Amino acid sequence: MSLDQRVFAWRGHYVHPSPSSTRLSGLRLGVKDLFHIAGLPTAAGNPDWLRTHPVPRQTSPVVEALLAAGAQLIGKTQTDELAYSLNGLNSHYGAPRNPVTPERLPGGSSSGSAVAVAAQEIDIGLGTDTGGSIRVPASYNGLLGIRTSHGIIPSDHMVPLAPAFDTVGWLTRDAQTLQAVGEVLLPPSLSVSARKPWRVSLLLPEMNGAALWTSAHQQWLDSQPVLQVFKPLFVKQAWLARASETFRVLQGYEIWCTHGVWIQQQQPRFAPDIQARFQWCSQLTQDQQQQAEQMRVQLCREIEHWFDQVDLVVMPTTPGPAPLLGADAAWMDAYRRQLMGLTSPAGLARLPQIHLPVLQQQGAPVGVSLLGPHRSDKALLQVATELMNGSLA
């Protein structure tokens, strides 16, 4: 299988409608193979899904909006199976190669979109983020990426994973493009913040006895006078583990409600780790779901306090750089739980989050995230653009 096949599920000529604006003119678009495009198959990263579903007759309104703004569709990009992974590996179609650190994971499930942007094959990588599928590959590939507020952008005509948590997002190499896409897709009613400097809470998570906010993170923050730290938020590993497990149960229960009948009827072939995950989902009970929902309410109250008297939260996006390819399966499972401790607050509380590629560790990209209140998407994009452009006056 060629590198191109690993990155693109489909690539070729597509008859674009005449754009109604030129806002994104000249920008190349890759679309995660969950979004429907009329006349093109949607495989969702799995041959049995492709085999058992008709070719869509309608195009996702998100894709239509981008094309109407002048973006040029280059192809549909590969995804992890039914988007149920954060690794970026696909046993059926291969693993898109991380062009920044080829010895490391590309990150999923929007792996094809991320790799195509990082390799400069496209300018806009459209994807989805349920448990971190924009933020994680953005971190691993040195890109900007936004997970939008849940429900703020339509997700119809798109293969779901867990609708209560699924969000639309996109990846770019620069902040101007990230913001330009937001101007097309986000509701015009959203406001931006006129306040400068922005008051922030600084999330200081601890994992495996070590602080994830390092001296390098702090050095970057100290160089950003437009960000004024109002309060530190010390978060212990036990809290992160509770958030991760709560999210996993709620997401897993919803996944089985969404896909359980199809899986039981079709018996699709999944990679072993994906198969084990779906099997675990099938055994979750309503009592477990209700207990997790009660815990979610408590966690969301705590997350809400993070924003008391501040505009946004600054935090590490991932525990560190992308894991190396070939890492032990048991280690990867434990790592995934830890990773979701960082990604789950946005999912649990329906919040927008932007990854900024501003750091390196072990010669690989990492960065920081801006986490905002629900529907603060445009304000976050404004902050991200100013930080990345150095417009700090």
Q: Which of 32, 111, 344, 378 is catalytic?
A: 32
The residues, ordered by sequence, that sit 6+ positions from 79 with a Cβ below 8 Å of its Cβ are 9, 32, 33, 34, 44, 45, 90, 108, 109, 110, 111, 112, 127
Q: At what angle do helices 286-306 and 237-266 cross, to 10 degrees?
A: 140
- Whether 338 contacts 244, CB under 8 Å: yes
Q: At what angle do helices 272-282 and 237-266 cross, to 10 degrees?
A: 90
High-pLDDT (> 90) share of the chain, %: 94
Over the stretch 212-229, which tens digit does the pLDDT of each residue have? 999 999 999 999 999 999
- Whether 382 contacts 182, CB under 8 Å: no
Short-list 121, 119, 149, CA closest to 134: 149
What is the average pLDDT across 84-113?
96
pTM recorded for the entire structure: 0.97
Q: How many CB atoms lie within 10 A of CB 16?
A: 13
The residues, ordered by sequence, that sit 6+ positions from 68 with a Cβ below 8 Å of its Cβ are 17, 19, 20, 21
Q: Which of 60, 85, 109, 369 is catalytic?
A: 109
Q: Which domains does the chain have, with CATH numbers?
A: 3-185 (3.90.1300.10), 198-389 (3.90.1300.10)
With 60 as the cut, is the pLDDT of residue 1 above it? no
Over the stretch 362-391, which tens digit does the pLDDT of each residue have? 999 999 999 999 999 999 999 999 999 984
- Whether 186 contacts 148, CB under 8 Å: yes
With 60 as the cut, is the pLDDT of residue 240 above it? yes
The residues, ordered by sequence, that sit 6+ positions from 270 with a Cβ below 8 Å of its Cβ are 46, 81, 278
With 70 as the cut, is the pLDDT of residue 359 above it? yes
pLDDT classification of 208: cutoffs 50, 70, 90: very high
**Of 4-8, 67-71, 380-384, which range is least confident?**
4-8
Short-list 314, 135, 311, CA closest to 233: 314
pLDDT classification of 392: cutoffs 50, 70, 90: very low
- Whether 330 contacts 324, CB under 8 Å: no
Short-list 382, 298, 347, CA closest to 149: 347
Distance (Å, whole) CA 217 – CA 319: 12
What is the average pLDDT across 197-210?
96
Q: How many CB atoms lie within 10 A of CB 302?
A: 14
The token pair at 213 is: 């906010």
Query: Is 133 a residue of the active site?
Result: yes
Q: What is the mean pLDDT of the chain?
A: 96
What is the average pLDDT across 250-270?
98
- From start to end of 183-226, where are the E strands? 198-207, 210-211
Query: DSSP state, 324?
Result: B
With 50 as the cut, is the pLDDT of residue 354 above it? yes
What is the average pLDDT across 33-57?
98
The residues, ordered by sequence, that sit 6+ positions from 82 with a Cβ below 8 Å of its Cβ are 44, 45, 46, 49, 159, 161, 259, 274
- Whether 179 contacts 381, CB under 8 Å: yes
Q: Which of 110, 111, 133, 149 is catalytic?
A: 133
pLDDT classification of 16: cutoffs 50, 70, 90: confident
Over the stretch 176-202, which tens digit does the pLDDT of each residue have? 999 999 999 999 999 887 678 999 999
Short-list 146, 108, 150, CA closest to 388: 146
Helix (H) or strand (E) holding 172: strand 167-172
**Of 14-23, 50-59, 81-90, which range is least confident?**
14-23
Please spell the DSSP secondary structure of 35-90, one letter per residue.
Answer: B-BTTB---TT-HHHHHHSPPPSS--HHHHHHHHTT-EEEEEEP-SGGG--SS---
What is the average pLDDT across 244-267?
98
Query: Is 109 a residue of the active site?
Result: yes
Q: Which amino acid is at 206?
A: E
Handedness of CA 283, 288, 289, 290 (dihedral sign): positive
What is the average pLDDT across 354-367?
97
Q: What is the dihedral of CA 126, 131, 137, 142, to 10 degrees?
A: 100
The predicted pLDDT at position 3 comes to 54
